[in-house]
Structure 1
Amino acid sequence: MMDISEVIKQIPFWKNLVDEEKTQLLSGVVLRVYKKDSYIYGTTDACLGMIYVQKGSIRVYIINEEGREITLFHIGSGECCIMSASCVITGISLDVQLLAEEETEILAIHSGMIQKLMDSNIYVRCFAYELATKRFSDVVWVMQEILFARFDVRMARFLLSVYEKTGEKKIQMTQEAIAKEVNSAREVVARMLKQFASDELIELNRGAILIKDFEGLKKIIE
């Protein structure tokens, strides 16, 4: 279990707070633990405020009119997210959902506390807006990928990104999970993976993919 008084010191703007603000912040923080695949936040929930991920990973996504999930970005250990704080930064209008991809521990900073610190401390205010700007840049990149990038390029880029993150040639993911990451239908993912396998870029196994030709995948992206 996390020690809030120690973990909170890892929040980037902690060092820029005066003693009184640090005391206030400690009183406005809640420790929460979520199991894998647990729902964390949605648009119908009360404003969550800013969150800091101490351990685990969170997938941030939206749901389109057809009910399909579109992954926007991921929040990993040591990262903050303010997309769940639309009541604090009024410019945030995305109806995002947050889901724990694995057992995840977070610090949730109450929206009222973040607002108070943003009003009184320029460092907190700059941090919050820079964070929001970065996340919206992530969202724009995803939209550009969906609208303009060929699907084989998106798939190749995804496979290589997973390898870069894990260092493992074997990717343990179902086609359903991959579809959510590349923002497409499972059937489309299945067809593309079969094509990649036919081209000997990958090898398909039950619930897993083995990357065989890294250079071939890179050429698709180029």
Structure 2
Amino acid sequence: MNGDPRLSRLLERYPELADHLDDAFRALLLQARPVNFGAGTVLFREADPCVDFLWPIEGTLRVYKRSEDGREVTLYRVNAGELCILSLANLLHGQRCAVEARCEEPVTGLSISGSDFQSAIDASPGFCRYVLGALSSRLDEVMRLVVDVVFRRLDLRLACLLGQMFERSRGKPIEVTHEALAREVGTSREVVSRILKEFEHQRCIRLSRGCIHLISAQGLEWFK
């Protein structure tokens, strides 16, 4: 199996697969087909049937929930080497999608059909352990989000989000709109703009068109 370049690449991105391989799991991987999606592609929408299982090899997916009035809140991101736990859960239970997923950048990966997924769950103890392990490892992340949404003030959540974004950019200005930040935290653009103005007034950040500059990382930490 390792002679197949696609599967060798999959094992590079998901080295934990090697710990769970049995004959049925190997047969499943040999059935995986390559897929490519452009940036902005919606992979599934709420209430869609969950029909495929995806291993992303390159790129990032944003998984989010949309309210009745059209607002969005980001639940988590799926990067190369990770799995979407909600689509996993839907496949396991034969349920329709409860969230939406969009490619933030071009995504390549390997995919198997839902029927092959169910057959592998029944036939491969290794694949079953792998899926349950993936669900368990990301459950904490989703629970933290629930706690944040229910218990933390919006300004604290926004300060935390900005801190993470500046950490990834190593303190360089981040190109992001107020609308995009509002989608991340599940509120309106007007509310985000008001909080950002307060952060600017406190000399934590400086706002410019489509861009946010870091002035004081310690100031943002104070809000958190």
Stretch deviating more after TM superposition (177-186 or 139-148): 139-148
Aligned counterparts, 1:63-82, within 5 A: 63-82=66-85
Query: Aligned partners of 1:141 and 1:35: how far apart in 2?
Result: 30
The alignment status of 1:104 with 2:107, answered yes or no, reads yes
The alignment status of 1:23 with 2:27, answered yes or no, reads yes
Contiguous gaps of at least 5 residues in structure 1: none
1:97: how far off?
0.8
Identical aligned pairs, as a percentage? 28
Stretch deviating more after TM superposition (182-191 or 14-23): 14-23
Aligned length: 219
The amino acid that maps onto 2:9 is V
Does the C-alpha gap of structure 1 residues 145 and 116 become closer, same or farther in structure 2, counting only changes over 3 Å? same
Query: Aligned partners of 1:152 and 1:36: how far apart in 2?
Result: 30
Match of 2:213 among 194, 210, 215: 210
CA RMSD of aligned residues (A): 2.3
Deviations 1:93-122 (A, max 9, x none): 760111001111122222222222222332
Give the TM-score, by structure 2 length: 0.87
**2:153 match:** 150
1:14: how far off?
4.2
Query: Aligned partners of 1:59 and 1:196: how far apart in 2?
Result: 26
Does the C-alpha gap of structure 1 residues 134 and 187 become closer, same or farther in structure 2, counting only changes over 3 Å? farther
Structure with higher helix content: 2
- State the SS of the aligned residue for 1:171: coil
Contiguous gaps of at least 5 residues in structure 2: none
Query: Aligned partners of 2:89 and 2:52: how far apart in 1?
Result: 8
**2:9 match:** 7
Query: Aligned partners of 2:46 and 2:184: how far apart in 1?
Result: 20
Query: Aligned partners of 1:99 and 1:166: how far apart in 2?
Result: 22
The amino acid that maps onto 1:113 is D
The alignment status of 1:83 with 2:89, answered yes or no, reads no
Does the C-alpha gap of structure 1 residues 45 and 93 become closer, same or farther in structure 2, counting only changes over 3 Å? closer
Tell me if structure 2 keeps the 8 A contact 1:39–1:99. Answer: yes
Deviations 1:109-159 (A, max 9, x none): 222222222223323212212322344433332222122111111111001
1:183: how far off?
1.7
